[in-house]
Structures are given as C-alpha cells and as structure tokens.
Amino acid sequence: MTWRHDAGYKLFLSSPLVVEEILRDRFPTWARALDFSTLEKLSPEFVGDDLVQRHADILWKIRFGQEPWPYLLFQAEAQSSPNRLMAMRTAEYRLRAFQEMVRGGHVGPNGELPPGLELVLYNGSARWKAPCDLASLIAPGLPASVTAGTTPEARQAFGLHTEEHYHLIELRGIDPADLPPDRWLTWLVRVERARWSGRLPDAVALGEAIRRSGDEYIRQTFRNLYAALGWLVGMPEQVLESAEFFGEEGMIRTEETLMAESVRQMKEEWRRAAIEEGWREGEQKGLEKGLEKGLQRGLQRGLQRGLQRGLQRGLQKGIRRQRALVLGQARLKFGSETAAELQSVLESLSESKRIEKVAEAIIECSVAGEFIRRARRA
C-alpha cells in the first residue's frame, strides 16, 4: 500500500466529519452561523484566463442557511515540508476559486464574492517558520518619508495593509492532551507522534471509533497511516495488509494490538536474533571440530573459531534481514522504482546503525528524491 503524506492527508481533509470538527473547534464564530448539512466538496482544479491549470488540495462550500447565498469557501492544504511562500499560494488559490465562482454564477445578487477561510495542515518534522500572512512577504521598500501621512487606501495600494492570511495547524507542535480526546485531529496527532516517539496509540480504540463513524475517508486515512508507521513498532506486515486491520468493514483484531514497545525494541530484536543465530552455528561447528580431534584443546579452539565465524555469519544474516525489511518499507511508501534504486545503496551498507538511518529517513521524508539522497548519506 502506497502512502505519501500530502496525498494521504487529502483523504483526511476530504471527510465532512473532519471539516466540521475543525471549523467548530478552530473557527467557532463562523461555525455557529454555518449550516453543516449543506457541506459540498468542490473540484480543486482551476483553469485561469491564461489557460494555465492550478490545483489546490481540498475546497469546500458551506452555506450559512438553506438559501444558495451566502456561503463560505473553505480551502484546506496539506504540507509535509515548509513553504515560505505558502501565503502567496493560498491567496492565488482563493483568487482562482473566485474566478470559478464567477464563471459558474455562484455569486451574490450584485456580483459579490463569498468569504473564505484557508487552512494549512502541516505534519513535517522541521518547525514551520513561514509567515502566515501575505503582508509579511512584502518587503517594506518604501522610505518612511513616502509612507508617512499616507491614507489607508494608499498604504493598501503599496501592499502594506495586505490582510490575506491562512490558518496553520502544525501537528508536531500540538500536545494531544491539550485537545478534546474524541476529535479526529486528536487521533491524527497521536498517530503522527509515533514518528518521533516510536509508540502508536491503541488500534482497538481507534478502530472502534472509526467503525462508529462509518466514514470511509477517515478509515482509509488511518489504515494507510498505520501501514506506513506500524512497521516501526513491530506490527506484522500480514496484519497491516489484511482486511481485518481497519478492513473493508472497518473491523480490526480486538484480541491484541500486535505492537512492540518501541523502535528501540525492534532494533534490539534484530541484534539479538543475529547474535543467537551466530552462537548456535558457532557452537555446532566448534563441537564438530573438537570431537573429530578428540582433544579438549581442539574442542576449545574449534568452539572459539566456530563461534567467531558463526557470529559473523549470524550478524551478516541479521544485516540481510534488516536490509530486506527496510527495502520492503521503502517499496510500500515510495513505490518499486525507488526501491530498486535503494537496493544498491543498501547493499553497500554493512553496519546496522547506518541501515537504521535509512529506516528513519523513510518516515521523515515525503518525496522519493529526498529519501534517496538521505539514504546515500547514511
């Protein structure tokens, strides 16, 4: 199953339940006036007068009552990496949406345009430092002697009073304890924190909430997220791929969550398995050599040499298993072409710690090219 964070979060933002929750929690004044039974998802593809196509992530239309006018345009964007010009991008998408509304005749009786809200949902590991308002992107290049005493209209013409801005939700900066426990955004924050903590939340409780909601967008979002992150905590691949785990009917296995304690435990299991296998192989070979000579000295030397060789072979087998696991996860997230390119990189890595860095890059990178560059530097 392929999971790319930007595309995956579009599923999340495509859920009417999620949109209503976000608007009620983040924009309560607007929400009290909105009629959520009129939620309508619009096409986010815009073709301007210059015939150049633009594509926003998610665009919703919500009326303030049962009448066609007025209504709110709610635009949501998913980001896995910071974008300094995000304010300009969201402003452009709003203008493109206005053009589509004008073309379709979805304007007020005197040609008025609808109000709009822009939301950016960010799940990257680096802190978001980009300005959220368009005015901050405009350099104050005019000297004070020019702007002093100017009218508000003139200052707006200079770009000094540009009020276009977007609202940011930065997942890594949120403590789920500060959120209402029954919100989908709260579940999303809990699952995303597994990328840094190595602990996924209880899949049973989440699965029951998903089943009660009956929302296909939510089910697919969390099923794909667990598939992308579950390997970090030792969740078996066959469970992730089965219909039982957030399956077609939204059911999950309730007898166990099938998760290990943390990433550290998984890495320790790799090493322990390699050492145990090496010990067994070395002990067998050492005994064979010692028995053939019938001498205690030979036995001891055989054991030592056999243990040394067996341990080395066991470690090598552990490395091969580690490579295979990382390669499989790369294929799951980035596709077969990236996995084929990664294979030669992994074959050049003979140390477990370096392969672990590649595994961490799978989680932290959202673009295949960026991931391959990280893997080569491991």
Residues 208 and 281 grouped into a single domain: no
Residues 14 and 154 grouped into a single domain: yes
pLDDT in the model for residue 86: 94
Q: What CA dihedral angle connects 150, 154, 158 and 163, to 10 degrees?
A: 110
Residues 189 and 137 grouped into a single domain: no
Residues 121 and 267 grouped into a single domain: no
**Polymer length in residues for the chain:** 378
Range of the domain at 338: 263-377
Residue 284 inside a domain? The answer is yes
Q: Please give the tally of structural domains in the chain.
A: 3
Residue 62 inside a domain? The answer is yes
Residue 184's closest CA among 153, 212, 142, 147?
212
Residues 188 and 267 grouped into a single domain: no
Residues 107 and 185 grouped into a single domain: no
Residue 2's pLDDT band, with cuts at 50, 70 and 90, is very low
Residue 256 inside a domain? The answer is no
Last residue of a domain, one of 186, 207, 241: 241
Residues 35 and 130 grouped into a single domain: yes
Q: Are 221 and 230 in contact, with CB atoms under 8 Å apart? A: no
Residues 168 and 213 grouped into a single domain: no
Residues 167 and 185 grouped into a single domain: no
SS3 annotation, 9-38:
HHHHHCCHHHHHHHHHHHCHHHHHHCCHHH
Residue 257 inside a domain? The answer is no
Q: What is the pTM of this model?
A: 0.59
pLDDT in the model for residue 29: 92
Locate 173 and state its tokens: 């900066």
**Beta strands 45-47; 53-55: pairing state:** antiparallel
Distance CA 226, CA 245 (A): 9
Q: How many CB atoms lie within 10 A of CB 288?
A: 12
pLDDT in tens, 301-316: 655 666 566 666 767 7
pLDDT in tens, 238-258: 444 443 445 544 333 322 333
Residues 330 and 305 grouped into a single domain: yes
Mean pLDDT over each residue of the chain, to the nearest integer: 75
Average pLDDT for residues 103-132, to the nearest whole number?
91
pLDDT in tens, 261-304: 334 444 555 555 555 555 555 556 655 555 565 555 655 665 56
Least confident of 46-60, 192-206, 303-317: 46-60
Locate 195 and state its tokens: 């990328």
How far does CA 184 lie from the centroid of its chain? 15
Residues 202 and 309 grouped into a single domain: no
